[in-house]
Amino acid sequence: MRSHFYEYRKFVLAGIALVIVLCYIVRLAFLQLSDGEYKTRADDNAFFNNVIFPARGVIFDRNGELLVFNQPAYDIMVIMREVSNLDTLDFCKTIGITQKQFDERMALIKDRNKNPGYSTYTQQLFMPQISAQEYGVFQEKLFRFHGFYIRERTIRRYATDHCAHILGDVAEVSQKEVDNDDYYDPGDYIGKQGVERSYEKELRGIKGVQILLRDARGRIQGHYRNGEFDRKPVPGKNLTLSIDAKLQALGERLMEGKMGAIVAIEPKTGEILCMVSAPSYDPHRMEGKQRSSQMMEMQRDPMKPMLNRAISGTYPPGSTFKTSQGLTFLQEGIITSSTAYPCYRGFVTKGMRVGCHGHGSPLPLIPAIATSCNGYFCWGLYHMLSNRKQYKNIQEALTTWKDYMVSMGFGYKLGVDLPGEVRGMIPNADYYDRRLGQWNALSVISIAIGQGEVTLTPLQIANLGATIANRGYYVTPHIVKKIEGGHIADSLTVKHKTKVEKKYYDMVVEGMRKAVLGGTCRSANTSMYEVCGKTGTAQNRGKDHSAFMGFAPKENPKIAIAVYVENGGFGATFGVPIGALMMEQYINGKLSPASEAKATSFQNRHIDYGTRER
């Protein structure tokens, strides 16, 4: 039997079968029992996460007036595969584009390098954010344009012409923002400036998602597990700002044609009542698809309208700073209420002179504040820095001085809930050691009158006003009063006590009151309430800056304010009258006819800044 001779070969064949099956089982184990790589790739294949965008929170002013809201916008979408018999001419006319733009747009969609998610089966974005009118016309003809669809989105709209710097704006996220926060995907919107940015997390809400099954051609085949894992979107929280829209509007009106800032704070709470930065812009310019071109235009403007000078601009505080000096000298015992320094048209010593204007001499603190005497405060600082009984050396003396300044909110960011705040400058001993090497009280004397190295933001000046109004403390200035369904950060409601006792503040308040009654701020005086104030005339390379810092009423102050007009001249020229009008508007809720006329006149007083880059 030949066949028996080869019968052993059945084992060879059985062995081949065994080896094949074993090899395949090992391969299966390799594919299926190793890491989850294939599982992830399968999910990436099959699951399409359809994101449902939550409504962004809307924004109100402190009186419940609507400032920012959402409006539906319409994107035109296209499914390439379904486009047929398109009357291109009619289509282009309907949405107002040219044939060339149409061809370019179509080519861009089909370019897989620029549009990696391209599929002929799924909706592709043809044109974003057409207006309601365009939508109306398009909608009527839609049945003729096979393959085109409308996708609803919302755009941010402004109900006010003011508050541009405070409100900020939204725009598409940048790649960096996508990388830094898992919440965002390319194409999402994010707050870029102002409150929109600093309260992005509260405003944006939580995205919802529908997990859909997508086939190999990108078509949707239904919900995964009947929507078991879907999530509903959580709408963003509404914000109530501490801003008084009417006050803000008046402020912006008064600052027309000028550069500078107005900041008003409710002293007790630290709530910012208005924050004007001039020049400003109409927030409507940031709406919708025109944003990027508008922004480019503004960034090229030498007046820098995008800059929020109230928190991002630093200025020499000038004489408004003298109040902080008086407080420091009193607390440190350098002066008492009766200490009088001479001033013969200035601070004159050892071949040095800081000029002053004519007034009685010698004089004590209160009239020194009222008349804004330079000599008095220079002598005060001179005596403090030269006091070797109290301080080992000048460094220690200046460090003590610096600590007082910092306790009043200078030299560091106040921590306002807006992006872009800067810290200003309070020099310390180290700074002068490095800059000057050998130095004495005279080398740095100009800091006593808010000149020299000292710079503050208008917000810090206003905060100084609030501190004096409160007689010794301030609450972190903040712009958001209430978050619907949430609460504002604890850091915004903390009371910061300065290093100066209340009794000294009372003296400075008295000086500021005297300034209004008979000193530099006379024009702010009114019979309706007791105003306290301090002018500032800050020297700089060009014409002096005009500043005013004050609060009213004297008892139980409702408003503290800082006005800063670049190159406005004397503090009394622009600062005082604008400050007075603002306080009247806030305290009375309206302007008297006389004040109204005054406001119009100030609105029309423009300052020529030339065209140089600033």
Using CB under 8 A as the criterion, which residues of the chain lie in contact with another protein when the complex forms? 2-3, 5-7, 9-10, 12-14, 16-18, 20-21, 23-25, 27-29, 31-34, 37-39, 41-43, 45-47, 213-217, 221-222
Cis ω before 364 (30° cut-off from 0): no
Q: How far is CA 72 from CA 56, 69, 75, 78, in A?
A: 12, 10, 10, 19
Contacts of 220 (CB under 8 A, 6+ apart): 48, 212, 213, 214
Query: Which lies closer to another protein via its Cβ, residue 40 or residue 588?
Result: 40
Q: Cβ 116 to another protein, closest distance in Å?
A: 12
Q: Cβ 230 to another protein, closest distance in Å?
A: 16
Query: Which lies closer to another protein via its Cβ, residue 28 or residue 150?
Result: 28
Amino acid at 177: E
Q: Cβ 210 to another protein, closest distance in Å?
A: 15
Question: Max CA-CA distance within the chain?
Answer: 143
Q: Cβ 111 to another protein, closest distance in Å?
A: 16
19: exposed, middle or buried (C-beta count within 10 Å: 0-12, 13-18, 19+)? exposed
| Rg (alpha carbons) of the chain, rounded to whole number | 34
Tokens of 527: 């019979």
Going 292 to 294 to 297 to 303, the CA torsion angle's sign is negative
Going 73 to 77 to 83 to 86, the CA torsion angle's sign is positive
Q: Cβ 174 to another protein, closest distance in Å?
A: 30
Buried b (16+ CB within 10 A) or exposed e, 543-563: ebbbbbbbbbbbeebbbbbbb
The Cα 441–Cα 449 span in angstroms is: 13
Q: Cβ 183 to another protein, closest distance in Å?
A: 26
Look-up: residue for tokens 């595969």? 81
Tokens of 86: 């398109």
Q: Cβ 27 to another protein, closest distance in Å?
A: 5
Query: Which lies closer to another protein via its Cβ, residue 217 or residue 522?
Result: 217
Q: Cβ 47 to another protein, closest distance in Å?
A: 8
Query: Which lies closer to another protein via its Cβ, residue 112 or residue 590?
Result: 112
Q: Cβ 132 to another protein, closest distance in Å?
A: 36
Q: How far is CA 155 from CA 68, 103, 137, 175, in A?
A: 10, 27, 20, 21
Inter-residue contact 545 to 537 (CB < 8 Å):
yes
* Residue 9 CB neighbour total at 10 angstroms: 11
Query: Which lies closer to another protein via its Cβ, residue 46 or residue 142?
Result: 46
The Cα 421–Cα 458 span in angstroms is: 11
Query: Which lies closer to another protein via its Cβ, residue 122 or residue 463?
Result: 122
Inter-residue contact 402 to 325 (CB < 8 Å):
no
Q: Cβ 39 to another protein, closest distance in Å?
A: 5
Query: Which lies closer to another protein via its Cβ, residue 93 or residue 223?
Result: 223
Query: Which lies closer to another protein via its Cβ, residue 7 or residue 182?
Result: 7
Helices (H), 88-220: 88-95, 99-110, 132-141, 164-167, 175-180, 194-198, 200-204
The Cα 367–Cα 376 span in angstroms is: 10
Nearest to 584 by CA among 601, 571, 596, 602: 596
Query: Which lies closer to another protein via its Cβ, residue 38 or residue 344?
Result: 38
Amino acid at 268: K
Cis ω before 477 (30° cut-off from 0): no
Query: Which lies closer to another protein via its Cβ, residue 115 or residue 174?
Result: 115
Q: Cβ 38 to another protein, closest distance in Å?
A: 3
Q: Cβ 491 to another protein, closest distance in Å?
A: 48
Helices (H), 440-574: 458-469, 502-518
Query: Which lies closer to another protein via its Cβ, residue 218 or residue 288?
Result: 218
Query: Which lies closer to another protein via its Cβ, residue 142 or residue 220?
Result: 220
